[in-house]
Structure 1
Amino acid sequence: MTLRSMFHYGAIASLVALILLSLAWELVLAPLRPGGSFLALKAVVLLLPLMGILKGRVYTYQWSSMFILAFFAEGVMRGWSDSGLSQKLAWAEIALTTLFFACVVLWVRNERIVRARAAR
């Protein structure tokens, strides 16, 4: 397995895990209101970059690296202000967004190197 494919699969895995975490968090594990909350809709927003990430589109990788920072900020705020299980889930969100960001940045960097070598 090449570095490029490791970063690609890491980005996919962390994004899918973040979608599942968001749904579980807001619907079952620690919702703001009993029975779930509308914050579960944030998982729908995470679906926006999924197809481009799956297909390895450079443009999607580039904009999603900035897009994911909103979820990182949410995780930091809820990790700081919440308590109990919700706080632990916020730390998991921070870890997954950090992993996604690192994989995306490293994949784009590696992709540029591969394309530069192919152009020679």
Structure 2
Amino acid sequence: MIALGLAWELWLAPLRQGGSWWALKVLPLAIPLAGLLKWRLYTFRWLSLLVWPYVAEGVVRGSNDAGLSALLAWGQTSLALLLFAACAAHVRLRLRAAHVQSP
């Protein structure tokens, strides 16, 4: 999602010619990278909440924009929903495994 967001707002279909400040929208996605690499359960939990503004933006821009921008918006929506599902599944499996191991 980080690469898609940067490419979208800087080169592929920016809101303004030459890129836009909207590329900064990917910064919140960089924050959880360290926690994800360390498999911290808390990071997976709050990342599943962080993706919803990206889903909303993708749906709004996918419905209102045209051409490449709309395709990129629907791509962002798909990736955000996939990330949510992956985080939710990971948390559920980790909690189930912890429950089975407890006495």
TM interval, short-chain normalised:
over 0.9
Q: Which residue of 2 aligns with 1:63?
A: 46
Shift of 1:119: 1.6
**Share of identical aligned residues, percent?**
47
Within 2, Cα distance between the matches of 1:72 and 1:37? 20
**Gaps in structure 2 of 5+ consecutive residues:** none
Q: Is 1:110 matched with 2:99?
A: no
Task: Kindly report structure 1 stretches of 4+ aligned residues shifted beyond 2 Å.
Answer: none
Q: Is 1:89 matched with 2:96?
A: no
Name the Cα RMSD after superposition.
0.8
Structure 1, 109-118 or 22-31: larger mean CA deviation: 109-118
Higher RCO structure (Cα 8 Å, ≥6 apart)? 1
Within 2, Cα distance between the matches of 1:51 and 1:37? 27
Q: Quick one: which amino acid aligns to residue 10 of structure 2?
A: L
Counterparts of residues 24-39 of structure 1 (less than 5 Å)? 24-39=7-22
Q: Which residue of 2 aligns with 1:52?
A: 35
Q: Quick one: which amino acid aligns to residue 79 of structure 2?
A: L
Within 2, Cα distance between the matches of 1:30 and 1:38? 13
Shift of 1:43: 1.4
Aligned length: 103
Taking structure 2 as the reference length, the TM-score comes to 0.96
Within 2, Cα distance between the matches of 1:73 and 1:110? 27
Structure 1, 40-49 or 70-79: larger mean CA deviation: 40-49
Q: Is 1:119 matched with 2:102?
A: yes
1:46-87 Cα distance to aligned partner (Å, 9 max, x none): 101111112111111111111110110000010011100000
